[in-house]
Each structure stands twice: as C-alpha cells, then as structure tokens.
Structure 1
C-alpha cells in the first residue's frame, strides 16, 4: 500500500520539477486550448507566411494574380497564409474585415499591414519588422521588401 502512495507523490514531484525546470530555462508553459496557445499558433502561422512571402521576392505584379508566380497585393498575402495553413479572403478590404485589429504598438512580424484612405482599404502587405513590409506594390513592379511610406495604415492579425 505504501508503494501506491509514493507513486503519485513521485509523479507530483516530477511534474513540479519539470515545471520549475521549464520556468528556470525560460521554456513556454502553454495550456492546451488556452488563449496563449491560440496566440502562439497565430504567431507560428504568421512567421511561416512571412517567410513564404519573402521567398516570392522578384515575382512580377499582376492585377488579380494569386500566385504561385505572379501576384497582386492581396493575392500575395492570401497565397502566403494559405501555404502557412490559414485561409484569407481575396481582397485587401475583405482581409482587413477578417483579421483581429491591433495597434501599431502591438504589431509583430507576420501581421498584415493595411493601407487606407478614410475607411477604404486599398493595399495590404505582411509586416517584416523595423517598419518594413513584403508586398506586391503595383503594375510593372515585383514583390519586394519596402519601408512603410505613410502613417495611414492599420494592422491586423490573422486568427
């Protein structure tokens, strides 16, 4: 009978040690199904989408282009997130409507950057950090990394 008492006690101590070890080395402690887990998955999808968009550097712009070789702005973001395992609608405005809106203070690499005039969203790119985006800008141009050129932007996180 004493063995039955000690086994759970040992498991409890092992579990505590594991948690303490993770805490000491800075390991993540994310409970399945938690908000933190959902945020971690969103960051993972966003990081993958950012890498995919960057891999399309030099691909020509084409109005209505959704890849894999030619893109318009929302076609590039839709393509990158689809390859990363997330579905986005087709247009920049629809993508803005579908994302969780965040402030510029909370933006992260892989978030979407929406350019707007008033309430009208006319362009989208993927935030690359340091005030830059990957995007497919206009006819005659190619997918490229570029500095954000205006303050008239909104940020959205793909859920």
Structure 2
C-alpha cells in the first residue's frame, strides 16, 4: 500500500485514507477493544459498504490514516469533522488498532491533527468526546493539551450499563503551551 506523508511527526504520519485498507478498518471496528473506544462501538462492520462514512468524501471532514514511519504500517485513523469555517471550530475522531494502543501514538496523532487544524486551517477551537471509561484515551488527550469542558451523564449504554461521555477541547492559543 502506498501512503502519502501529508502531515509528518516523529514516529508517524497522517496520510489520506484509502479504500485499499478496508479490511484493516473492518477488523479494528469489530474488535471490542477498539470499538469500545469509538462512537460506532455497537455497529457490526462486515464490508466496504458498511464503511461508506469512513471512505466517502464529506463536506466538513478531513480524514487520515495513521501510519508508522518505521515500516509504513497502518495503525488507525484520525479526522477533523464537523468543520465550521465561520466559527473556526471542528471535532476530532480517532481510533488506534489494539496492538498499537498504549504506545503514545494516539497522543502524537492528536498533536499532529491539532497542529494542522490550528496552523494550516486557522481553526480557533477543536474538541472531541470520549467515553468516561476510556481512561487511556482521556490520559492521551490531556497529554496532547485538551481539557475537560463538560459531560453528558449516562449518555451511552454499553456492556449493560450507562456511562458518561466527556467533552474535551483546546483553543488555538493554548496549543503548544
């Protein structure tokens, strides 16, 4: 698979997403350890058709593959979505394959997409939401500079119980502090 180094970091880069990687995404989104950290956790993904939301261009969405520099290995996906150019804000979506979780790649990918959003797209505020039981994700997002701004109590029903959804954001002037 050929990837393009659109946004490059120390250990990984972000490349435009490619339908040739559909099998990887199908595997990850059906893996409970990955899916439980992502908004689509209850979906069953069995074909490329189930991934139209991932591969088809959409207004207000910049979606990237997360690829390791060492070995050109695809490890996940990150996006800026719901981009509002008038108010200069956007929402982040991210997932990392289970085998690469816990290695700091999520934090680096978040920092790369924040840099792109603030420095290239001139955004002012970038936010995300995370399930309250995704402790590693919350720690990663805080390490990247985001802070908790709100919470929807018992918003998601998962594994037989309700859990909160936490909202986090960062302003352009806070990025890199």
**What TM-score results when the alignment is normalised by the length of structure 2?**
0.23
Q: Structure 1 or 2: larger strand share?
A: 2
**Rg larger for:** 1
Larger RCO, structures 1/2 (Cα 8 Å, 6+ apart): 1
**What TM-score results when the alignment is normalised by the length of structure 1?**
0.25
Q: Structure 1 or 2: larger helix share?
A: 1
